[in-house]
């Protein structure tokens, strides 16, 4: 079989993976069972790290043009919101953008890059062989098969790819429910986000394009383990009234739905030639709107490594580092969404006291507030290689200003790693230290001049190698030219040969 990839699932995760693979020239087919993009967008929020992810490839501009910018986020709908403006990013805000639009923008980009996107094509089976996978498909014109080197399951919590791979999806079933609706409000509350928590329930309201408002509500009776059936407008209206005393003139629902806190994690993100990303790999309560974002970041991590593997440039074990790096991110996502669920659904005087205490800590302890904001925004993720490595190794690299008008993200637009020489080792030149034949797979940049003092961790760096996904693969403070050249050659040879683990900085 060839060096092609079949992606099952055409949401934001699958489409961004297709974009990454096509950037590397990998033949890619996206199979999506739904003939049209679902207009009912459960996800509305694009977080700062996800905007950075798109910006690494110049794909952020259309989203910025359409999305509403909200400079804060919430943890468990606490009254004291998390201020993103203090974060070290070019994008200190979330974008309020319906998932349907995010999907459409990424789909257009994938198609323009040459991806074969097939909507209305339902995968019925996947069979792995020694040299690839055969994918069975029911299309509008009948059944057919595709042969692929790898199959990526981006097909949601009920993933067929995960089942075909025999990967366990472990966790807990829901113990709490929420109700969600996109409705017209004759008397909407002011502001971009409205939230409330009382002993009668908790509620959030966000305006949507087209004159609709998204409302999510939880009530004490939602702490349950049975599914009460279809949500009606009358029930939804009454639930909103119980929390705030008004339904804001609610009518004309475009969508009504229930959601729960079922939390499950795939035991393996990779098994042979099967790979999982997004909701196929992790399921959780949609607290804080992190789901779409974690999925896109899964795709970014996977796309770089899968492309390198298929193009024959990957050291042994590179593809296995996808699970090693992203599986702990999924586990962490489940932990903090479950923690938020417990706080949101504790409708008692004790729960009120806990919320009050956490609110005070957020207001009085900037370090605590910023740590929560970094976690929610995705900026805290760090991949830590084993052994004694530079403190920056595995960290997300901010969009550093370099020489002239160049910035770090500019160097990563084509999906190649970037080696930056900060000209602190007299006599060292990165282009001379790169082994023969490796230069064409790198972007090299020499950037003399001091970095901003606000980035103390970077102050003594002599050279840095930034991975295609925007994380530091290697850095050195060495100022001896010969020693730095030796370190550089070793870093280029061994960058992706380890199996890093993840922790929060």
Query: Domain with 251 in it: what CATH number?
Result: 3.30.70.2450
Position 175 scores a pLDDT of: 92
Residues 336 and 230 in one domain: no
Whole-number pLDDT of residue 316: 85
Q: What share of the chain is helix, strand, coil (3-state, %, to 5)?
A: 35, 25, 40
Q: Which domain holds residue 221?
A: 177-260
Per-residue pLDDT at 503: 34
Closest to 52 (Cα-Cα) out of 295, 291, 329, 377: 377
Q: What is the pLDDT of residues 236-245, one digit of tens each?
A: 999 999 999 9
Residues 54 and 122 in one domain: yes
Report whether pLDDT(498) > 80: no
Q: Is the pLDDT of residue 450 over 70?
A: no
Look-up of token digits 């693969």: 473
Q: What angle do CA 203, 204, 206 make, to 5 degrees?
A: 155
CATH number reported for the structural domain that contains residue 417 in this entry: 3.40.30.120
Q: What are phi and psi of 113, to 5 degrees?
A: -80, -5
Query: Stretch 261-276: mean pLDDT, rounded?
Result: 97
- The model's pLDDT over 389-408, given as tens digits with 9 standing for 90+, comes to 899 999 999 999 998 789 99
Mean pLDDT to the nearest integer, 431-445: 85
Q: In whole angstroms, give the CA distance from residue 379 to residue 326.
A: 14
Please tell me the distance from the alpha carbon of residue 144 to that of residue 134, in angstroms, as a whole number: 10
If one counts the domains in the chain, the total is 3
Answer with the one of 225, 260, 295 that is the final residue of a domain. Answer: 260
Name the residue among 265, 258, 267 with its Cα closest to residue 230.
258
| CATH label of the domain that carries residue 32 | 3.50.50.60
Asked if residue 292 and residue 163 are part of one domain, the reply reads yes
User: Is 342 found in the same domain as 453?
Assistant: no
Q: Please check whether residues 207 and 301 belong to one and the same domain.
A: no
Structure confidence at residue 363 as a pLDDT band (50, 70, 90): very high
pLDDT at 501 over 60: no
Q: What is the average pLDDT across 105-117?
A: 98
Give the whole-angstrom CA distance, residue 188 versus residue 344.
23
Last residue of a domain, one of 204, 231, 260: 260
Q: Is the pLDDT of residue 451 over 60?
A: yes
Q: Which two tokens mark 171? A: 């966790």
pLDDT at 403: 83
Tell me, yes or no, whether 45 and 139 share the same domain.
Answer: yes
Angstrom distance (rounded) from CA 313 to CA 307 = 9
Last residue of a domain, which of 326, 360, 377? 377
* pLDDT-based confidence at residue 435 (cuts at 50, 70, 90): confident
Q: What predicted TM-score, i.e. pTM, was given to this entire model?
A: 0.95
Q: Measured between alpha carbons, how far is 412 from 120 in angstroms, rounded to an integer?
A: 34
388 pLDDT band (50/70/90 cuts)?
confident
Torsion of CA 44, 217, 39, 27, to 10 degrees: 50
Question: Hey, what are 443's tokens?
Answer: 């972007």
SS3 call for 365: coil
For residues 319 and 217, state if they share a domain.
no
Same domain, 133 and 278: yes
Half-sphere exposure of 380 (CA within 13 A, CB side): 18
| For range 240-266, the mean pLDDT | 95
The pLDDT of 83-89, averaged and rounded, is 94
* One domain, residues 34 and 54: yes
Q: Is the pLDDT of residue 496 over 50?
A: no
Q: What are the residues facing 391 on neighbouring strands?
A: none
Q: How confident is the model at residue 3 (pLDDT cuts 50, 70, 90)?
A: confident
Rounded mean pLDDT of the chain? Answer: 92
Instruction: Indicate the Cα dihedral angle 256, 260, 266, 267, nearest 10°.
Output: -170
The pairing of strands 132-139 and 122-129 is: antiparallel
Cβ atoms of 420 and 445 within 8 Å: the answer is yes
Q: What is the mean pLDDT of residues 222-228?
A: 88
Q: Are strands 150-153 and 274-276 parallel, antiparallel or unpaired?
A: parallel
Question: How much is the pLDDT for 224?
Answer: 87
- C-alpha torsion angle, residues 97, 98, 100, 101 (rounded to 10): -20
User: What's the burial of 181, exposed, middle or buried (CB within 10 Å: 0-12/13-18/19+)?
Assistant: buried
Closest by CA position to 55, among listed 398, 473, 372: 398
75: pLDDT confidence band, cut at 50, 70 and 90? very high
In 132-200, which ranges are E strands?
A: 132-139, 142-148, 150-153, 169-172, 177-185, 194-198
**3-state SS, residue 287:** helix
Same structural domain, 160 and 190: no
Query: Do 197 and 162 reside in the same domain of the chain?
Result: no
CB 457 within 8 A of CB 392: yes
- Report the pLDDT value the prediction gives residue 248, as an integer from 0 to 100: 97
CA atoms within 13 A of residue 89's CA, in its CB half-sphere? 28
Q: List the alpha helices (DSSP H) in 255-377.
A: 291-310, 320-344, 349-364, 366-377
In whole angstroms, give the CA distance from residue 26 to residue 38.
27
Phi/psi-derived region of residue 240, left when phi > 0, alpha when psi is between -120 and 50, beta in every other case:
alpha
Are both 274 and 213 inside the same structural domain?
no
> What is the DSSP track for 195-227?
EEEETTEEEEEEE-GGG-EEEEEE-GGGB-SS-
Report d(CA 227, CA 395) in Å as an integer.
42
Strand order in the sheet with 94-96: 45-46, 94-96, 68-70
């Amino acid at each position: 079989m060839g060096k092609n990839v079949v992606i099952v699932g055409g949401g934001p995760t699958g489409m961004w993976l297709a974009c990454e693979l096509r950037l590397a020239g990998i033949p890619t087919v996206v199979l999506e069972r739904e003939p049209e993009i679902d207009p009912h967008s459960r996800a509305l929020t694009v977080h700062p790290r996800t905007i950075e992810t798109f910006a690494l490839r110049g794909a952020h501009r259309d989203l910025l043009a359409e999305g509403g910018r909200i400079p804060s986020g919430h943890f468990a709908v606490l009254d004291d919101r998390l201020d993103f403006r203090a974060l070290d990013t070019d994008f200190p805000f979330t974008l309020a953008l319906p998932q349907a639009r995010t999907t459409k923008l990424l789909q257009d980009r994938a198609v323009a890059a040459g991806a074969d996107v097939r909507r209305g094509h339902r995968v019925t089976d996947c069979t792995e062989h020694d040299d690839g996978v055969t994918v069975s498909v029911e299309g509008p014109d009948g059944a057919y098969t595709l042969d692929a080197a790898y199959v990526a399951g981006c097909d949601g919590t009920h993933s067929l790819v995960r089942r075909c791979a025999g990967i366990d999806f472990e966790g807990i079933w829901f113990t709490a429910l929420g109700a969600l609706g996109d409705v017209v409000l004759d008397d909407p509350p002011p502001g971009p986000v409205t939230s409330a928590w009382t002993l009668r329930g908790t509620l959030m309201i966000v305006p949507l394009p087209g004159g609709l408002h998204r409302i999510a509500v939880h009530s004490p009776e939602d702490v349950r383990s049975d599914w009460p059936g279809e949500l009606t407008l009358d029930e939804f209206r009454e639930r909103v009234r119980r929390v705030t005393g008004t339904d804001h003139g609610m009518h004309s629902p475009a969508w009504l739905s229930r959601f729960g806190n079922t939390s499950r994690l795939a035991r393996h993100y990779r098994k042979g030639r099967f790979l999982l990303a997004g909701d196929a790999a992790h399921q959780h309560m949609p607290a804080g709107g992190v789901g779409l974002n974690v999925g896109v970041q899964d795709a970014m991590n996977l796309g770089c490594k899968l492309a390198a593997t298929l193009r024959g440039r990957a050291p042994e074990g590179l593809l296995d580092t996808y699970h090693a790096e992203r599986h702990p991110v999924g586990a962490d996502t489940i932990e903090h969404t479950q923690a938020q669920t417990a706080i949101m659904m504790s409708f008692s005087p004790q729960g009120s006291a806990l919320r009050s205490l956490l609110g005070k800590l957020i207001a009085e302890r900037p370090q605590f507030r910023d740590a929560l904001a970094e976690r929610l925004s995705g900026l805290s993720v760090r991949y830590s290689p084993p052994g004694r490595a530079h403190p920056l190794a595995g960290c997300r690299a901010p969009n550093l200003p370099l020489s002239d008008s160049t910035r770090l993200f500019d160097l990563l637009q084509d999906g190649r790693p970037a080696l930056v020489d900060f000209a602190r080792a007299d006599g060292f030149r990165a282009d001379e230290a790169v082994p023969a034949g490796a230069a064409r797979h790198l972007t090299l940049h020499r950037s003399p001049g001091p970095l901003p003092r606000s980035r103390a961790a970077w102050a003594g760096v002599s050279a840095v190698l930034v991975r295609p996904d925007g994380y530091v693969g290697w850095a050195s403070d060495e100022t001896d030219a010969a020693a730095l050249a030796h370190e550089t050659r070793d870093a280029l040879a061994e960058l992706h040969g380890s199996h890093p683990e993840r922790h929060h900085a």
